[in-house]
Structure 1
Amino acid sequence: MPGSNPSPRQAFPPISGEDVLMKMKQIVACAALVAASSVAAPAFAGATGNVGVFSDYMFRGVTQTGGAAVQGGLDYAFDSGFYLGTWGSNLNFAGSGGDGTEVDFYTGYAGKVGDLGFDVGALYYYYSEAEETAPATSPDTLELYAGLTYGPVGVKYYYTSEYFGTDKSASYVNFTLAQPLTETLTLTANIGLNDGDGVKAAFGDSYIDYSLGLAKSLDAGFTATFQIVTTDQDPAYGGGPDSDSPKVVFGLKKVFDL
């Protein structure tokens, strides 16, 4: 998230951690679709957990740890299509000099209309490190999101009235691809558009983040991931001197039923 500020992150746990059930389910929608009589509730009802280790925690193209991350979450999906969950990770914001924890809380509704998947909800980011590094400017943030998926492609829109550590609004539009190559290997790609006064206050300007990776399903519910992540940020601004340099992220996670 906001580069040199002790504020946080985005979406970018896609494969590097943001791989919580929610972050996989957040493929969102329009209110008109929710009202359609042909809406079907998703098939994933019940409780699940997830835990993973990653070489870095990248959020919307920006590192949140500058090193290894341990992450995990709990999710519950109802037969009706409503769901809720929580997810956490260790943190070490660049330049803050402090260690902390991020804990996300989210709830929403997901379903399908024919072959079109949708998801709408709210996501709250809580940062324990904020109490130590920036008590006057809390990065804790509430985002609303809505998204759609069709086959291997998806788009999701996020909006907040107070972007991480600022009092300004911002939006994030995320385009994703998850294309199976074999029964156990999936190609993943992401393009994210970060815009709004909050983003400009944190980074000096709007920016785009990109990622390209592979996810390999292993035995016993494990998944190994590999990603190359970068942005088009100007290193002279808040992203830091290496903000536009590609980063390689490796991970291993496990999803399990409860």
Structure 2
Amino acid sequence: MKKTAQLKSLVMAMAVAGSTVAALAPATSQAGASANMGIVSSYYFRGIQQTGTAAAQGGLDYDFGNGFSVGTWGSSLPNSSGNSQGLEVDVYGGWSGTFSGVDVGVNLTTYNYTRDSGKGDTNAFDSQYTEGSLDLGYKGFSLGLATGTHAKTSTTGKSVSYNVYTVGYSIGGLSATYGMGDDMLGKNTDHTWFDVGYSTELAKGLDGTITYVNKQQKKTQTDENLIFGITKSFDL
């Protein structure tokens, strides 16, 4: 799954709002590297279709065991004809922990493309952008805020800043997300989306997923799809 990042400002707002002093404890885990690889019938991110056909994906992560982690994640970007639009390669780093029972994750991510429309490649899918974000979780519920800037967009040729807001809930293998993208697609193209998915372990380290995605733009449904995926994860 594509990684997203998180803003520190909301963490500070939570701390100020708290009526009692509480420790911000890091997520503890065994330090080490892990990897994942898989394929999806179509690649969607925040309700926006990234590929016209199936996409191969994979990533590498390193957990320092003290709440900090770094990693990279990539996906092929075939169009509807199956022709390559290059590769997406994301690089991220962040911290996760718990504050008064609330899970907190703060990350910084750069989304990079081997074929970049901001550099004049007319066959590219997108242009490079950098994003900071914050995720909060409590008893299955989650809130997310992301803010970033496209170096250049394929539609305007100019730098565009954006914000993305999400709310979600998960229980067992079921999950649902509702999101709003403010200028995520460029000026005058704000959008909303929701997705509902189910994930199950098919074998040790092998997961299967099915997800329904529905995107709306200017209060009109513009895209929907049912996506199937399979991912293999393992320690290195």
Which residue is equivalent to 2:28?
43
Query: In the alignment, does 2:223 pair up with 1:245?
Result: yes
| Counterpart Cα distance in 1 of 2:134 and 2:91 | 16
Identify if the C-alpha distance between structure 1 residues 104 and 137 changes in structure 2 by more than 3 Å, giving closer, same or farther: closer
Partner residue of 2:56?
70
Asked if 1:176 corresponds to 2:168, the answer is yes
Q: Indicate if the aligned counterparts of 1:63 and 1:93 stay in contact, CA closer than 8 A.
A: no
Secondary structure, counterpart of 1:31 in structure 2: helix
- If asked which structure has higher relative contact order (CA below 8 Å, sep 6+), I would say 1
Larger relative strand fraction = 2
| One-letter identity of the residue aligned with 2:163 | S
Would the aligned equivalents of 1:106 and 1:124 in 2 still touch at CA under 8 Å? yes
CA separation of 1:114 and 1:70: change in aligned 2, threshold 3 A? same
Question: Which residues of 2 match residues 147-226 of structure 1 at below 5 A?
Answer: 147-162=135-150, 165=153, 166-180=158-172, 186-196=173-183, 199-201=185-187, 204-226=188-210
Match in the other structure for 1:145: 133
Deviation larger for 227-236 or 83-92 = 227-236
Equivalent residues of 2:75, 2:87 under 8 A apart: yes
1:3 paired residue number: none
For each residue in 1:42-62, what CA deviation from the matched residue of structure 2 results, as whole angstroms up to 9, or x when unmatched? Answer: 133321111111101001111
Contiguous gaps of at least 5 residues in structure 1? 1-16, 181-185, 237-242
Aligned length: 224
TM-score, structure 1 as length reference: 0.76
SS of aligned partner of 2:223? coil
Q: Is the contact between residue 115 and residue 123 of structure 2 (CA under 8 Å) also seen in structure 1?
A: no
Deviation at 1:135, TM superposition (A): 9.4
Two-structure CA RMSD over aligned residues (Å): 3.1
What is the rounded CA distance, in whole Å, between the counterparts of 2:54 and 2:126 in structure 1?
A: 24
- Structure 2 gaps of 5+ residues are none
Q: Which amino acid in 2 is paired with 1:109?
A: W
Match of 1:103 in 2: 89
